Structures are given as structure tokens and as C-alpha cells.
Amino acid sequence: MKVLIKNGTIVTAESEFIADLLLVDGKIDQVGNLTEVEADQVYEAKGKFVLPGGVDQHVHFSFEFNGAKVRGFETSNAAAVGGTTTVIEFVNQDKGRGLIETIDDYRKENAEGIAMVDYAFHGVVTDPSEQLFEDIPKLAEAGYPTVKLFMAYKGMFFHSDDDAIAKCMELGKEAGITMMVHAENADLIDMLQKKCIENGQVEPFYHAVSRPPIVETEATERAINIARLTDAPLYVVHVTTKGAVDAIKRAQAEGMRVFGETCTHYLLLDKSDLAKENFEGAKYVCSPALREEDDRNYLWQSIQKGWLNAVSSDHCGFDWAKQKHMGIDDFRNIPNGAPGMENRLGLLWTYGVETGKLTRSELVNLYATNPAKINGIDYCKGSLEIGKDADVVIYDPSGEYSISVESSLQGTDYNSFEGMTQKGRVEAVFLRGKQIVKDGKYTGHQGQGEFVHGKAFGLAYR
């Protein structure tokens, strides 16, 4: 099957230029002036931008909280219409089992035959046992070269103490495994939450009060010190605050291999959203909590300067009407997380590129190229290079659209960005050379997504 995309402006992480793109049997075959080439399908992209398929390295399709479970891979067509062709899911280690066995089983039961875009996995440590430590050197061979540890959530099954983090880093660095941390001080949060409840402060807004920036900054600094002690690379997920960014910057200036991401909602939403009346604020309960305008502005500067090197969605599809209302009388019982994988590219384009905060090349780097490198899948994903998978997005910059849950494919009863304006839209998407989005609508089928085998020694080691 040959697909010729003609006359579009091709955008890479380094440059942009007008050219044609030839896709052959699922791979990028040629880039240039291809007027003499014949193809089975010709797509006219004049006046539009040709981008690599997005890689969203932070999604949750299996997260559970007090019996409430998020929407799964059956909603991954939402990623496709948003210009994301690869998602990377977090899988919690089963107690008494290793990460490889856990992820293998999860993959067969929850992704194969269901996913509508390609997918990879991070392991999440919940049981720092001998089985886990035996698995770490073998993870890359199995295709899972990234591991996440939670410093937050005291008393919950996935909380990791400093000794577990240090031991995982020690083992991981020899095998090229990238260790990721959710950096928040669990003890301080627990203390502040109890204080809020004792004072009768039970509304969603107090989720942010009980998770102030200092708890993230302290944990980020501590994680960096553990990385310094073990001489291991570190990746900090969903960074939200100036203090945490500055800790990462200082480590980078020392020559340490410390990296971080932020997420779309931390760039565009703020603490005031949690104060919305009639329990609407519960829609914005996520961890770390939403911040103030100064932090948001600093995050934009951080991704432009390269202090943070990726923007993810941290998609987590809980419903508001029933699941979020579990915390109607106690904000601690509100399931954390919000949907967002469908809107990542459109929002970065609208509020980054169109406002001059980002160049188009910087956007490509943040939403596709760097995430592929970080997770060891850049051998086939994240850029429009010859020989790589033909994952291609056609972005039409014309027109304005209003974001709404009514048109969303995320399967939830609300959209975090409801009513916000989006400039332009994802017009078409090709997944390994097959068109799965046409005129902004999903046209693919369930089960077409394939597992992407991650390789060791990703960006944190280079």
C-alpha cells in the first residue's frame, strides 16, 4: 500500500519545509519533491502542517481508586482524533509477582485486540520484593524499559519508600532502565489533609491546600539526591511548580541526568478551578494539584527553554456524576485524575504555537519526538524519518472550534477543557500508513493498535 501526502508543510523537531511524503507498507519511504511518484492514495495537504504522530507517555487506562475504575483502551480512539498515535500506559505490579509477568498479562487482557492506537507500558512498583529486583535487569528485553515509583500516597499499596527508590535506581542504571518518580512528600500531605478535615474543610479546593507546592519541591529535591547518591538518571513526571523545575535545573547544571515532563492541564488550568461551585471543582482534582498563574507561566518558559522536555496528558478517565462524587463529603475520597488525551495537541497548538510561546518545531519535540526518545521507542516512533513507522498527522490551522464533552470520545461525562477555544484541528491521521482519522472523525477500528517494544538506554542515558 502506497500513500502520497503532497504539498504539506512538514514539521520536524529541528525545522519545517514544504515537501511530499511517501508512505509504503506502513513505513516512511521518501521525503521530497515526489511529483513523478504513483500511489494508491494521494492526500493533498497544501496549506496544512504534516506532523509526526504524537506519543503520549503518560496515560492511565487501568487506574482504580476505592473501587472506581477509569475508562480503558476501548476509548483510545480519542487519542487518535487528537493526533496521538502511541500511548504509554502505567501498569501496577501485582503483589507477589514481578513486573514483567504482571505487564505481560495486563497487555494480553486489556490492550491486545482492543487498543485503537499503538501502545507501550511503564511498570509501577507496588511490591519491592526480590522478584521485582530480579526483574529490573530483564525489563528492556521484555520491552518495558521504564519504571515508575510513587513517593506520594502514604498508606496506599503503591507508595515507595526512599530505600526502594534507591535500590531500583542502582539496579536500573546498569540495565539502561529509566526510573520515573511521582514526586510529592506523602507524610506532609497526610498531615495537611488531616488538618483540613479537622477544620471542616472538606470541599475539592482543599485538595490543593493540602498539597501545596512545597510538598512537590521537597520530594523532587529528595529524588534528585537519591539519583545523585546512586549516580543514576532520573525522570520526574508531571512537574507543576517553579520550585520543582528549579531543582531539576540545578541538577542539570551540575551535569546530572535529570529530566522532567509537565502536562497540558498544568499549563492551562489553575487552582481556582477547584473552587467552582456545586462540586464542579471535583472535576479538577488531580495530583499534584493545580497551581497558580506564576507557576503556569514558569512551566511555559520551562518547556520552551528545555528544562522540561515533554508535555503529556496524564489522561485518567473518571466520571464526575458518580465516581468523583465519592468525595462529596471528604475531598480525600475524590478519585484523582482527569481526561485529556484527546485535547493535548490542539491545546498546545492553540495556546502555545498560536500565542508565540512555542514554535511548531518545539511543539513536535514536546509532544512526539522527545517522548519517543525518553521511552526507547524512537527507533520507530516520534519523527518523520525514512524507515520509521508511517504515523502521520495532518493539522489544518484554519477555523476555530469549541472543546466540548458532547463531541469527545474519551467516554467520560465531562471534559477538563470544556468551552475552551481550539484554533485549527487534526484533520487526518495515519497509523503505520493506514488512515484512521478523516475530516476530524475516527475511521479506524478496535484492535488495530500494536505493542511497541521499548528499548533500553533511552534519552536519560544519552
Question: What string of DSSP letters covers 145-205?
Answer: -EEEEES--TTSTTB--HHHHHHHHHHHHHHTPEEEEE---HHHHHHHHHHHHHTT--STH
* Same domain for 147 and 8: no
Does this model's pTM top 0.85? My answer is yes
Cell of 299: 512551566
Counts of helices then strands in the chain (DSSP H, E)? 14, 20
- Distance from C-alpha of 78 to C-alpha of 410, rounded to nearest angstrom: 5
Residue 344 in any domain: the answer is yes
Are 23 and 163 in a shared domain? no
In a domain, 289, yes or no: yes
Asked whether residue 202 is domain-assigned, the answer is yes
CATH number at residue 151: 3.20.20.140
> What cell does 351 get?
495556546
| Residue with grid cell 526480590, as numbered in its chain | 130
Residue 412 lies in a domain: no
Within this chain, do residues 351 and 257 fall inside the same structural domain, yes or no? yes
232 neighbors 178 (Cβ within 8 angstroms): no
Residues 13 and 142 in one domain: no
Which cell numbers hold the place of 108? 494480553
The strand pairing partners of 148, in sequence order, are 124, 180
Based on the domain organization, do 286 and 402 belong to the same domain? no
Residue 3: per-residue pLDDT: 98
Is 460 within a domain?
no
Cα–Cα distances in angstroms (integers) from residue 28 to residues 40, 42, 434, in the given order: 15, 15, 12
297 neighbors 268 (Cβ within 8 angstroms):
no
Q: At 300, which amino acid appears?
A: W
**Euclidean distance between CA atoms 289 and 249, whole angstroms:** 21
Same domain, 31 and 136: no
- 44 with 61, same domain: the answer is no
Are the beta carbons of 32 and 11 closer than 8 angstroms? no
For the stretch 333-382, pLDDT in tens is 999 999 999 999 999 999 999 999 999 999 999 999 999 999 999 999 99
Cβ partners under 8 Å of residue 254, min gap 6: none
Give me the pLDDT at residue 422, please.
98
Identify the bridge partners of residue 287 per DSSP, sorted by sequence position.
none
278/391 same-domain check: no
Same domain, yes or no, for 165 and 26? Answer: no
Torsion-angle region of residue 177: left (phi > 0), alpha (psi -120 to 50) or beta?
A: beta
**Does some domain include residue 455?**
no
Determine the pLDDT at residue 157: 81
User: Which triple of cell numbers denotes residue 130?
Assistant: 526480590
Q: Are 336 and 368 in contact (CB under 8 A)?
A: no
- pLDDT tens digits for range 301-330: 999 999 999 999 999 999 999 999 999 999
Question: What residue numbers bound the domain in which 396 lies?
Answer: 2-51+387-406+421-442
Query: Are 57 and 45 members of one domain?
Result: no
Select from 366, 382, 398 the last residue of a domain. 382
Pairwise CA distance, residues 329 & 343, whole Å: 31
> In this structure, is residue 449 part of a structural domain?
no
Q: Looking at the domain assignment, is residue 233 inside a domain?
A: yes
Query: So what's the pLDDT on residue 158?
Result: 85
For the chain, which ranges sit under pLDDT 70?
none
SS3 398: strand
Closest-CA residue to 67 (of 414, 327, 411, 331): 327
Residues 118 and 183 in one domain: yes
Query: What is the total count of domains within the chain?
Result: 2
Question: What CATH number did the domain enclosing 42 receive?
Answer: 2.30.40.10
Give which of 129, 50, 99 is closest to 361, Cα–Cα: 50
Please give the Cα distance from 437 to 425 (Å, whole number).
12
State residue 392's pLDDT score.
98
With CA atoms as reference, report the closest residue to 160 among 171, 149, 168, 170.
149
Residues 41 and 109 placed together within one structural domain of the fold: no
- Return phi, psi of residue 255, to 5°: 95, 10
